Structure 1
């Protein structure tokens, strides 16, 4: 297992280097003078020259890339052009908000999707199978922004059950140390605020997790149907094992690898693709942070945001690869 892990980590190095090249090249792919694009058409030549000096744009490409990698090695992501603050200090609260929302959305998607897929495969061609797959089809096809607006209208405006915006109650804000509100409130014993944080997560989390839930349900059903037709499952059934033991102990483990692949990919997609949900629910996440940087032409923030999201995506897929070898030891050979 250790050798397999080391091989996967070594293969990760060229991927991470490639990502830094792509993200660094973003500013050089801008048509015309990047400094003038950032400052606008009315900028004076002196202001353009000063910004080129500040960003190192007057140096050759490979020199700039070397300086960029040197800064990354020390944990320096640069400085925001809009706020003039270090990006490393500024970006974490936004990233923490998106991580919290993504985790909630994927927990919802996995619990509902996996169990719906299992029951659909177990009760193939039953009314539950047809209904759950119809719901999964609707879930995949439904626009996120429409679902989010319907949730706000029904559960926030009409019923008043759940809040429609933000991460906490503005009249009683959460004092957070890690910016992971649920974790911080649990550790501090403020369980009333924990529930308040969860209530703010429910609507955006369900809106964000609906498409992954539908994909996971369909993938679980397909994989489980294939496994349930296997000879070893017939043998386990012949031994008189209960259906719960057959499905959850024997069948699910062998059907889990394609499902894990979908879970890993969808988790990475949610981290970088939650901008619609974050905008509708006024969620201060990384998607909105990058979107605002695009509007203000804050290219250091855009570079850093894309690099961080891409790195997390790659690490999630590494974790999924390691889970493969745990579930099926043949993979590491």
Structure 2
């Protein structure tokens, strides 16, 4: 039997990954649907209003299909999902797709800035720590990382607001734009909309408003990435070919940029992809403290009101982001590492 060519093997591998991602999202949706149903409270009562009569509540329940058995409601939800319909919020009476579409870009720009902070800060620190292993610099960096990882997010947010925002007045402490900036909404991202409107000052003001929440969001994830990157860098530095390269007199900077970092970046890429999705979920508390409107605040209100379709839509969007990020990282790893291609594609 003739072997399939590498292109066919790659296509089959990517299709299998995509199929497993879809199955994961279906399982996630079913699980969250069940969890929402177990939350105490009457969805029909929330939708009808506190002062609604029992007859009005019953009518709303029938109109929304809430009087149907659990499995029927679940199958109905999946049927709408296949058509791209996430349902309608029972509290705002607005399409869940539209509601999430209005807040998702703001969360994405916050998470992107946090990822940039994590990568740009951790890479030089982990490299220095690995090169100076067990030295004073390594000990100092590890101590700072442990401290940052252990700081409560809520306390850290309030502390930075007080020190950097109130006392030193370096950056704004809440909101998305300062007064005086009027930016038309096109994409939902303040920074992108400001640039599209030809207003770079407003875009910079938007970045300044995101600096504090992005730092607070980034610190716990920076500690995770530091540990992984430092360990991988130490392993790469101990390889025999690098010892030979040092003996030949190749400068250390050249060794790090051309040989060490490219070989150590694999696990870090995977972790960053996972962290991107996790940051979207972790943005709930950060958005609340800094007065930002995003997926986190949307989900918080939806859970409080037992808004089934809004909760499902928000969790599903976060799940899709996690799965898509992991899928992209898998593809990049296949492109980057021939050893991984050989292992995964047989």
Same-fold status (TM-score > 0.5)? yes
- Equivalent residue number for residue 263 of structure 1: 272
Which blocks of at least 5 consecutive residues in structure 1 are unaligned? Answer: none
1:48 paired with 2:72, answer no
| Structure 1 CA distance for aligned equivalents of residues 127 and 64 of structure 2 | 54
Question: How far apart, CA to CA, are the structure 1 residues paired with 2:268 and 2:154?
Answer: 26
- 2:339 paired with 1:330: yes
What is the Cα-based RMSD across aligned positions, in Å? 2.1
For 1:197, the equivalent position in structure 2 comes to 206
Matches within 5 A, 1:293-332: 293-332=302-341
Bigger mean CA offset, 21-30 vs 249-258: 21-30
Q: Is the 8 A contact 1:290 1:301 kept in 2?
A: yes
1:79 corresponds to which residue?
88
Give the deviation of 1:40 after TM superposition.
8.3
Q: Which residue of 1 aligns with 2:111?
A: 102
- SS of residue paired to 2:94: coil
Q: 2:292 aligns with which of 283, 286, 292?
A: 283
Using the alignment, how far apart are the partners of 1:42 and 1:61 within structure 2?
27
Measure how far apart 1:324 and its partner are. 2.0
Aligned 8 A contact 2:237 2:260 in 1: yes
Q: Which deviates more from structure 2 when the two are superposed, residues 37-46 or residues 214-223?
A: 37-46
Aligned to 1:6: 15
Tell me what 2:5 maps to.
none
CA distance in 2 between partners of 1:236 and 1:220 (Å): 22
* Matching residue within 146, 150, 173 for 1:164: 173
CA deviations on 1:107-154 (whole Å, 9 max, x unpaired) are 001110122101110121232211111111111101111111111111
Shift of 1:38: 6.7
- Choose which of 212, 215, 222 in structure 2 pairs with 1:206: 215
Moved more, 153-162 or 294-303: 294-303
Q: Does 1:115 align with 2:121?
A: no
1:195 CA displacement: 0.9
Tell which deviates more after alignment, 226-235 or 193-202.
226-235
Contact between 1:165 and 1:283, CA under 8 Å: does it hold in 2?
yes
8 Å Cα contact 2:28/2:316 also seen in 1? yes
State how far apart, in whole Å, the 2-side matches of 1:103 and 1:211 are: 15
The equivalent of 1:182 in structure 2 is 191
- Give the Cα separation in 1 of the matches to 2:246 and 2:191: 43
| Length, aligned pairs only | 333
TM-score by length of 2: 0.89
Contact 1:95–1:286 (Cα < 8 Å) also in 2: yes
Say if 1:120 and 1:221, in contact at 8 Å, map to a contact too: yes
- Alpha-carbon distance between aligned partners in 2 of 1:295 and 1:15, rounded to the nearest angstrom: 26
Mean CA deviation greater in 76-85 or 253-262: 253-262
Q: Is 2:227 the counterpart of 1:218?
A: yes
Query: CA deviation digits over 1:211-257, x for unaligned, max 9?
Result: 11122122211110111101122233234322122212212222122
Partner of 2:6: none
SS at match of 2:118: helix
Q: 1:158-214, CA deviations, whole angstroms, 9 ceiling, x for partnerless residues?
A: 121211111111332322310112223234331111111111111111111111112
Task: Return the TM-score normalized by structure 1.
Answer: 0.92
Q: CA deviation at 1:32?
A: 7.7
2:249 aligns with 240
What residue in structure 2 maps to residue 151 of structure 1?
Answer: 160
Secondary structure of 2:181's partner? coil
SS at match of 2:133: coil
Where do 5+ consecutive residues of structure 2 fail to align?
A: 1-9
- Cα deviation for residue 34 of structure 1 reads 5.0
* Distance verdict in 2 for CA 1:219–1:102, change over 3 Å: same
Instruction: Output one character per residue of 1:4-51: Cα deviation in whole Å (capped at 9) or x when no partner.
Output: 322211222211221221233234334586545776897643233223
Q: Distance in 2 between matches of 1:40 and 1:77?
A: 22
Whether contact under 8 Å (1:168, 1:174) holds in the other structure is no
Alignment correspondent of 1:15:
24
